[in-house]
Amino acid sequence: MSRKIKQGRNVLSNRQRELLTLMRDTEEELVYEAGCAYVGLVATNKQMVDSLLRLCAIRLEDGCEFGGFERYTINGTGLKLLNGDTSDLELLR
């Protein structure tokens, strides 16, 4: 089953855009531990983390699995999505 990728800036929800913008502008990591996720002092949930991972907009930092929490950073695809570029998503189809 193939799904059509939305074109332009609509591919991100408002909340996804807000979190990615915050990560980009403040260079903060998204930290997830025991059901709670934060970018700085802004809380979110595991579903949001999973949705950003499905879009390949964030990546898990190496070596964080030993500390009991997961750290994610925005990546090149996340930066492109903030600019409305969905070309990387086309490769995932």
The CATH number of whichever domain residue 55 belongs to comes to: 1.10.10
What stretches in the chain show pLDDT beneath 70? Answer: 1-9, 63-67, 89-93
pLDDT digits (tens, 9 = 90+) for 72-93: 999 999 999 999 888 776 655 5
Total number of domains constituting the chain: 1
Give 37's DSSP letter: E
Residue 1, domain member (yes or no): no
Burial level of 63, CB count in 10 A (0-12/13-18/19+)?
exposed
- State how far the Cα of 70 lies from the Cα of 37, in Å rounded to an integer: 9
Q: Which domain holds residue 60?
A: 8-92
- What is the secondary structure of 6-31 as a DSSP string? PPGGGGS-HHHHHHHHHHHHH-PPEE
Would you say 12 and 5 are in contact if contact means Cβ atoms under 8 Å apart? no
* Prediction pTM value: 0.81
Residue 3, domain member (yes or no): no
